[in-house]
Amino acid sequence: MTETPNTKPIYILGNTPLSYYLAAKFQAAGEMVELILKSKEYGSIENTNFTIKEDTKLQKSHTKIKTSFWTRSPAKMLIICSSTEELNSDLICISKDKIKNCPILSFSLTESTAYIENIVGNRLTQCWLNGWITKKNNHINVLGATPSINIYTPCDKGIKHQLDNLFAQTEIKLIYETNKDTSFWHFFTIYACCSLISASCNKSIPQILKNKPLYALLEKMIEESLSLQKSSSAQLNLTKIMDEIKTIPTGYIFPLQENINLSRNGDFDTISNILINQAKKTSQPIPVLSDIIKQIYNIYLSIN
């Protein structure tokens, strides 16, 4: 029996707050969704009733999420939300023949997409979330404004049409960037600098912004990160980045800070490698960022 498009699932890969948020939004839009998790996780998750609280809405929503440990049937779309440290092992759950004709979005931060494309093919579209989502037990919290998705790798009209149709009923706005370098470094500068400084001092970004020495340190980190873009066409500046950082909600904690406190390195290696390798390519010194990277490395070693 041939499957119709309405019975094809949207697969979401990874056990992250974003995974659960997107699963809930697509289910509310009437889509069939399966969250792909490792076998030790998926059974307990499927029996959990999740509560989604969005700051922009008065009422909470509740949902259960269907889970799987692999792509068992042809997909309508694949969304990769895996954390950096789990990405490689999560990708083992993907069957290439089940996703060959569908859009593939990836939010996962990587130095190179070669490994992902070797598994999922060359239809990969990279993007980042402009929003702040946290998860504690079965509670998913969307802090601040409704998130949007910035797509920063070119996609053809066919894939764009598919994505627009799929996201139409989710309330999530898609933004198609025209400059890949600008968009990536926009996201990465904020994410990397905020991750590193919050992990180094174990404070949230709103706390850091109220501390003059830490505020000044964050500015220096951002300036160094922006200096690495001289070989690209990115057009960003300190004021613009700091203005966006000031909108980060009080309750948001960057994953690296949480991971270091749990004796895990999280995406530390990926963040530091991107910065260090780009500094080598552009011959730009990054003494402040290098010191912060060393501090976190020493913190991680002392814990372990």
Average pLDDT, the chain: 91
Q: What is the mean pLDDT of residues 196-208?
A: 97
Q: What is the C-alpha separation between 58 and 61, in angstroms, rounded?
A: 10
Mapped to the 3 state alphabet, what secondary structure does the chain carry?
A: CCCCHHHCCEEEECCCHHHHHHHHHHHHCCCCEEEECCHHHHHHHHCCCEEEEECCCCCCEEECCCEECCCCCCCCEEEECCCCCCHHHHHCCCCHHHCCCCCEEECCCCCCCHHHHHHHCCCEEEEEEEEEEEEECCEEEEEEEEEEEEECCCCCHHHHHHHHHHHCCCCCEEEECCCHHHHHHHHHHHHHHHHHHHHHHCCCHHHHHCCHHHHHHHHHHHHHHHHHHHHCCCCCCHHHHHHHHCCCCCCCCCHHHHHHHCCCCCCHHHHHHHHHHHHHHHCCCCHHHHHHHHHHHHHHHHHC
Q: How far is CA 286 from CA 152, 170, 270, in A?
A: 26, 41, 16
Amino acid identity, residue 169?
Answer: Q
- Statement: residue 200 has pLDDT above 80: yes
> Tell me: the pLDDT tens digits for 240-265?
999 999 999 999 999 999 999 988 98
pLDDT at 234: 53
Query: pLDDT per residue over 221-232, tens digit each?
Result: 999 999 998 645
* Whole-structure pTM value: 0.93
pLDDT digits (tens, 9 = 90+) for 53-75: 999 998 899 999 999 989 999 99
**Average pLDDT value for residue range 210-234:** 87
Percentage above 90 pLDDT, the chain: 77
Instruction: Note whether 121 and 33 are within 8 A (CB).
Output: no
Which pLDDT band, with edges at 50, 70 and 90, does 47 fall under? confident
Q: Residue 217 above 80 pLDDT?
A: yes
12 vs 304, more confident: 12
- When pLDDT is averaged across residues 85-111 and rounded to a whole number, the result is 93
Residue-wise pLDDT tens digits, 70-82? 999 999 999 999 9
Confidence of residue 2 (pLDDT cuts 50, 70, 90): very low
pLDDT of 196 strictly over 90: yes
Q: Which domains does the chain have, with CATH numbers?
A: 5-178 (3.40.50.720), 181-303 (1.10.1040.10)
pLDDT band at 28 (very low <50, low <70, confident <90, very high): very high
The pLDDT value given to residue 179: 87
Provide φ and ψ at 149, rounded to 5°.
Answer: -120, 125
